[in-house]
Amino acid sequence: MFKTFPKGGIHPPENKLTADKPIVVLPVPPQVTVPVSQHIGAPAVPVVEKGTEVKAGQIIAEAKGFVSANIHSPVSGKVNKIDTFVDTTGYKQTAVLIDVQGDEWVETVDRSTTLVKEITMTREQIIERCKECGLVGLGGATFPTHIKMTVPSGKKCDLVIINGVECEPYLTSDHRLMLERGAEVLTGAAIIMKALGVERVIVGIEANKPDAIKHLTDLAAGFQGITIQPLKVKYPQGGEKQLIKACTGREVPSGGLPLDVGVVVQNVGTAYAVYEAVQKNKPLVERVVTVTGKKVKEPGNFQVRIGTPVTSLIEAAGGMPDDTGKVVNGGPMMGKALAMTDVPVTKGTSGIILFPSEESRRAVVQPCIRCGKCSSACAMGLEPWLISVLSEKAMFEKAEEEKITDCMECGACAYTCPAKRPLLDYIRLGKSTVIRMARERITK
Amino acid sequence: MSSTVLFTIAMLGILGFLAAVILYFVAQKFRVVEDPRIDLVNEALPGANCGGCGYTGCRAFAETLVKSTSFDGLNCPVGGADTMGKVALILDRQPVAVEPRVAVLRCNGTPANAARTSYYDGAVSCRVAHSLYGGTTGCHYGCLGCGDCVDACKFDAMYMDPVTELPVIIDDKCVACGACVKACPRNIIELRKRNKKDRKIYVSCVNKDKGGPARKACKVACIGCGKCVKVCPYEAITMENNLAFIDSYKCKLCRKCVAECPTGAILEIGFPVREERPAQPAEAATN
């Protein structure tokens, strides 16, 4: 039985060109740029300086504050400099530049590929290990994992959902991870289950990945409490709240967190990272990135070190096609166009998509005719046309009343708009302004 | 027939009279005493409701003016000395002379000066572009060119130049209300003292990067070399975060800094052409 969420949603063309391309491990680049802020929250503070010799897996920047994450060196070599660089978000931020020498890892890291299924650690140890290893949510939001695994007093968690939906078109990194490292992903899920003290895990996978559903269903027989839930294909099913609704029927209240309905959602990539951190003591220094596009010569899924320049990823995929109009970091729906390709891969980079110029340009914007297509497409039950106009006209108090902060920026509204209005651009602006206003109110 | 008409008139008359009596007492009870000068001051103000004074509109400003005891910090930039003189007359106070100001764009990142490194395709709004990334040039401080300031200007004093891709401020129309200053997400526009003949000397750059990266992003960037600070005889120039700033109230328009600047980031506008060294070209655009 395929389940799905009831409200809104769209069906963009899937274009999963790389679904049958196995994960290729790319060689270590000659130089990496590791930003100190690759997560939501306070940037980490560098603990190395120019000239320091580092090994792969060694901590180079420590978490600062409650919501923050450690950063580890993805390579071995010498710190060239610590300076400001433009990263994938388009802003300048501090980064550690490392010249690569060899590939020497910290001794405590177990680099063997043997599957370790038995979980020997206690709850506290698991959470502490995730914190040490700088784990963040790899679905794109990059929220520090150890905070998500710590249930605050007064809240109760009874279910873990592993997000294998990958509803974004083009992206296949999670799909390949489930196929090729399925046992590790499920072990990771079991570890998360133990850390949260719950009995049940649901892995949600969309029906367009039948091989992954079958593979994981077979594997899940060897695990206690893990069920695989096939889901109807619909965007944005990978959104936490939509996935919870689809899998369990529970609805996260407006402004609330999944924990309010007793659920914690983790991405399959995160589950794999948790497995590596807990069983192999390996910090988060690598990830799988899909490099794709209709005119890309050899699109594929690549396992790369954090800090690898996007240019070398594009090279690995056969170089940039001549008529590329836009390079998008992330999925085509929620990703962001890069202003330059000379930026490093970070913990949150799930895909690099090269769009030919005829597909990349936006159409001419026309007036809103109040057709209501955006309202039907919105999976959060908002009125995108209204909140976008309110943000455009700087009526932020009103936008707050219209629950602009519930928007998850999935872009379904802008995709469906027949007048091609830049709805999400303004909603993002309004949302960030409203969040800032609310924060100022609290501090006052 | 006629009795019906008479009856109706009588009834309406009595009702009207009763209502009038009630209204009279209600009006007495709930009367709001308002200073009559507020209306007078409000009429004397330009009525643009631009918010340049810092209040929500002309009426709010009029109320504040009447309540205040002195004109300290209260000025209508639109009406200027004329309007404030009229207000002073109504309030029977001495007018305070406030020096007129003018908005100045501190960026010269034309396509010729700052090479475009990307093409912005999003919503045409500087606020949106600013929230997304550094901008279409290598400079992450300069003008984004979407014209939020032009949209904010209520006095038709600004327009976008299609060649320079920068907004242009028309000095004669600018009333220094500050709407553009608030609209600009990058704080590029500054209100400076209005000099005679609209002469201006200012650092037309807001790039806080070190010299190398700043120069690489834009040919006419301030590289923070500090030559202008040294040469200024009036201590009007300060250097902070690799960026020079000329205080328009201390500057005596001697133009020494302009000649000294190695990148041409300091602009001189409205001066006669120098004999020994011609003025920097391509400045009229940012006038």
Chain B residue nearest residue A362, CA to CA: B121
How far does the CA of residue A421 sit from the closest CA of chain B (Å)? 8
Residue B27's contacts (CB-CB under 8 Å, 6 or more residues apart) are none
CA distance A159 to chain B (A): 36
| Chain B residues closer than 8 Å to A431 by CB | none
Is A373 an 8 Å CB contact of chain B? no
Q: Which one of A340, A365, A429 has the shortest CB-CB distance to B131?
A: A429
Q: What is the pLDDT along chain A (444 residues), one digit of tens a residue?
A: 688 998 899 999 999 999 999 999 999 999 999 999 888 889 999 999 999 999 999 999 999 888 999 999 999 999 999 988 877 766 788 999 999 998 899 998 888 888 888 888 999 999 999 999 999 999 878 999 999 999 888 889 999 999 999 999 999 999 999 999 999 999 999 999 999 999 999 999 999 999 999 999 999 999 989 999 999 999 999 999 999 999 999 999 998 999 999 999 999 999 999 999 999 999 999 999 999 999 999 999 999 999 999 999 999 999 999 999 999 999 999 988 888 888 999 999 999 999 999 888 888 999 999 999 999 999 999 999 999 999 998 899 999 999 999 999 999 999 999 999 999 999 999 999 999 999 999 887
Answer whether A432 sits within 8 Å of B131, measured CB to CB: yes
Residue reference for tokens 């200027």 = B80
Fold of A123-280: Rossmann fold (3.40.50)
Of the candidates A169, A163, A173, A103, which has an alpha carbon nearest to the alpha carbon of residue A348? A173
Contact A362 B121 (CB under 8 A): yes
Instruction: Name the interface residues of B facing A (CB cutoff 8 Å).
Output: 117-118, 121-123, 125, 127-128, 131-136, 140
Inter-residue contact A391 to A433 (CB < 8 Å): yes
Residue B284 gets which letter from DSSP? G
User: Cβ contacts (< 8 Å) between B123 and chain A: which residues?
Assistant: 365, 422, 425-426
Do residue A91 and residue B133 have CB atoms under 8 angstroms apart?
yes
Give dist(CA B225, CA A82) in Å, integer.
23
Residue extents of the structural domains in chain A:
123-280, 373-443
Across the interface, whether the CB atoms of A425 and B122 are under 8 A apart is answered yes
Residue pLDDT, tens place only, B112-145: 999 888 888 888 999 999 988 888 888 889 999 9
Closest C-alpha to A160, from A87, A83, A261: A261
Could you tell me which residues are beta bridge partners of residue B45?
none
Answer whether A3 touches B (CB < 8 Å). Answer: no
Per-residue exposure over B264-285, b if at least 16 CB sit within 10 Å of its own CB, e if not: bbbbbbeeeeeeeeeebeebee
Residue of B nearest to A365 (CA): B123
Candidates 2.10.260, 1.10.287, 1.10.10, 1.10.15; CATH matching B36-91: 1.10.15
Q: Class of B101-286 per CATH?
A: alpha beta
A396: Cβ–Cβ under 8 A, 6 or more apart, which residues? A390, A430, A433, A434, A437
Q: In chain B, where does the domain assigned CATH 1.10.15 lie?
A: 36-91
Task: Give the closest-approach CA distance of A89 to chain B in angstroms.
Answer: 7
A324-329/B158-161 β-pairing: unpaired
| Residue range(s) of every CATH 3.30.70.20 domain in chain B | 101-286
Helix (H) or strand (E) holding A35, with range, is strand A31-35
3-state helix, strand, coil in chain B (%, to 5): 35, 15, 55
Q: In chain A, helix, strand, coil percent, each to 5?
A: 30, 20, 50
Check if the interface score ipTM surpasses 0.90. no
Q: What is the DSSP letter of A164?
A: E
